[in-house]
Amino acid sequence: MAYTLTSRLLSAARQTYAIAGDGPVRAVGAGSAPTASGAVGWMATPYGVRAGQENESAGLVGNIPEGIVIAVRGTTPPFAGEDPRQVVVDWARNFFAVLLPAAGNPPGFPGDVHLGFYLSFMDLWSKLGPAVKAVVKSFPGQTLYVTGHSKGGALCPLIAWQLRHDYPNLRIVVRSFAGARVGDARFAAAYNAGVTDHIRYEFDNDIVPNLPAQTSIIGALGAPPLVAMALELVNPGYANVGTLSYIQADGTVVPDSAALQAQRIARLVAGLRTVAGVRQIIGCHDISKSTAGYVKAQYPN
């Protein structure tokens, strides 16, 4: 079966969860099913790296007929069999949500960015950057495709901005899935002007794309005033990057709008008030099964 480029990039994002060390990344899934590595169309086995204090960050690079794919792993899931130290460090980084300037050395990120994601990017790029450079040198002039799920989706803009600095003459295409927000309005404005082909996919009641939590969600949940004030200090204005393609529960994809955002927040707040609602919200984030919302959707190229 032929799959769209976007669905194949989603399969590449899923394969990042199989990175076990520096070297070739094993395939996941059987055959060419939508969630399987066989759907990606790799021309050779992709190369993966792990980085960070407990190897909590990981990514891979490889070739498909259309160009070079750089995919970033999401947060280590707290499942049996995972290294507990890696899980703790990875999740702790996610909560380093203070926005701080990161304009120092190249690529000179504009505005302020999420401290934890920035640290993860710096760790990962110290190893993934040289791997990407080697592939670009071997296959010059090809389009660079950046993808990732969850935390990987949040790191996509940082990697794309770095690639824009390192390879100014190459086309950069970003397709992120369920990514958390990574920077403030100044970062988003500069990024959107510099990286013009970024579509972010968000499904139904998935909470992660709304993190760090929007103040409207915090207020609607009835957070005490002092808590709301403290959260406002560390979250003074995260903004979204790229163009939203929102996947509704029935699999149809609709564009962004003010009405859509209001409806999503209302549904999310309602879901967070019940155990069944929380379970449904957690399930919306999945990309591992063929029945998952992100997988079932018919993505455009």
Helix (H) or strand (E) holding 265: helix 258-271
Domain CATH number, residue 200:
3.40.50.1820
Best-predicted range by mean pLDDT (18-22, 237-241, 292-296): 18-22
Collapsing DSSP to helix, strand or coil, 176 comes out as strand
The answer to the question of residue 118 being in a domain is: yes
Does 115 fall in a domain? Answer: yes
Amino acid 68: pLDDT = 98
Q: Which helix (H) or strand (E) holds 193?
A: helix 185-194
Lowest mean pLDDT among 5-9, 124-128, 210-214, 261-265: 210-214
**279 falls within a domain:** yes
Q: Looking at per-residue confidence, does 180 or 94 come out higher?
A: 180
Chain Cα centroid distance, residue 252:
21
pLDDT, one tens digit per residue, over 61-74 is 999 999 999 999 99
Is the pLDDT at 225 greater than 60? The verdict is no
**Is residue 301 assigned to a domain?**
no
In the predicted structure, residue 215 carries a pLDDT above the cut 70? no
Q: Closest Cα to residue 24, out of 11, 40, 41, 42?
A: 42
Note the pLDDT tens digit of each residue in 26-43.
999 887 778 889 999 999
In a domain, 85, yes or no: yes
With residue 138 as reference, give the H or E element that holds it.
helix 115-138
Look at residue 168 and tell me if it is in a domain.
Answer: yes
For residue 92, what pLDDT is reported?
78
Split into its structural domains, the chain has a count of 1
Does residue 204 lie within any of the structural domains?
A: yes
Determine the pLDDT at residue 165: 95
Least confident piece of the model among 17-26, 56-65, 124-133, 207-216? 207-216
Does 119 or 94 have the greater pLDDT score? 119
Considering the domain boundaries, does residue 135 fall inside one? yes
Contacts 24+ apart (CB under 8 A), 99-107: 99/183, 99/184, 99/234, 99/235, 99/236, 99/237, 99/238, 106/165, 107/161, 107/162, 107/164, 107/165, 107/166
Domain boundaries, position 36 = 5-296
